[in-house]
Structure 1
Amino acid sequence: MLSSRRRDRHGRGIRGPLGPPSVPLSRSRAEVFDGLVLDAVEHLERRWEDRMRDIEIGVENVPPVEAPPDSPDPVPLGRAFPRVGDLPPRIVVYRRPLETRALDRRDLADLVQDVVTEQVAELLGVDPATLDPGYGGPAEDD
């Protein structure tokens, strides 16, 4: 007798992906978010590449349970870690809090850009508006 795992139960054929991997349809929400973070970093690197060279950027799903003591927001959207010894300066962007606050994908892209700009500005010791003239407003189409 044949194994039930190989059986085509409803005569519809073997299930497979809805689209090829190269189409945006097959990208997960996390992959889409990672792409938005990369776009935000590349936007800043066009003007500040020499000062951003050593900064590492990371994405985590949620922030740690305890908010940093200096954070006015109980759920941070991102966090900057200055250089400590041999560890380079780092920025972490938190995916789920940003997705929760965004109204749509365009709004999410704007929020990600603002959070990355704020965190990089904190590490570099400059005003976010100096770092990115479009800070706080709708993103300009490049």
Structure 2
Amino acid sequence: MLPPHLPAYRTRAGEFDHTAVIAFAEIDRLWHERLTGLDVAVDDIPRMIPRDLETVQWPEEVTADGPVPLARLIPAGVDEAGRPTRAQLILFRRPLELRARHDDLPDILREVLIQQVATYLGVDEETVEQGPEN
């Protein structure tokens, strides 16, 4: 058991969350005013694995590596009780971690977040990277 003040105290999930927050902060800095209606969350695994893995075609709101979803954008809407819901960008931790080698998780997260934010904003990925003024 390690004391909470030591870096090794963090869990893998905690490390992932920390890395995701840092990756999203860069994008949020550029687009904050347009991202206030978007929640970012992390699930360990996707709950939407297709039956036919060879021919799956994901909709635009899913970022995937072949048949494996890495992230999903759920648009704002209305729940079963008629209450409004906020848009959600959900990162799938385990599939993203499995695709990362050594120290490239931040790069993979950044790429996936850029794709998802571009879909949310209705702009291309280059525009997300450059910011709204460019």
TM range (shorter): 0.7 to 0.9
4+ long deviations beyond 4 Å = none
| Residue 42 (structure 2) pairs with residue 59 (structure 1) | yes
Contact map agreement 1:59 1:92 (CA 8 A) in 2: yes
| Cα offset, 1:69, TM superposition | 4.8
What is aligned with 2:53?
Answer: none
Where in structure 1 are there 5+ consecutive unaligned residues?
1-16, 134-142
The structure where strand makes up a greater share of residues is 2
* Other-structure match for 1:128: 125
Alignment deviations for residues 40-98 of structure 1 (CA, whole Å, 9 cap, x no partner): 11111111100001100000011114348536631111001111131111100000011
Larger Rg: 1
CA contact (8 A) 1:81 1:123 kept: no
Residue equivalent to 1:137: none
* TM-score, with length taken from structure 2: 0.79
- Say which structure, 1 or 2, has more relative contact order (CA 8 Å, 6+ apart): 2
Question: How many residue pairs are counted as aligned between the two chains?
Answer: 115
Task: Kindly provide the amino acid, as one letter, of the partner of residue 130 in structure 1.
Answer: T
**How far off is 1:36 after superposition?**
1.0
Q: What's the C-alpha RMSD, in Å, of the aligned pairs?
A: 1.7
Would you say the 8 A contact 1:81–1:89 is kept in 2?
yes
Distance 1:69 1:46, change over 3 A: closer
Aligned counterparts of 1:80 and 1:30: Cα–Cα separation in 2:
20
TM-score, scaled to structure 1: 0.74
Inter-CA distance 66–111: structure 2 relative to 1 (3 Å threshold): same
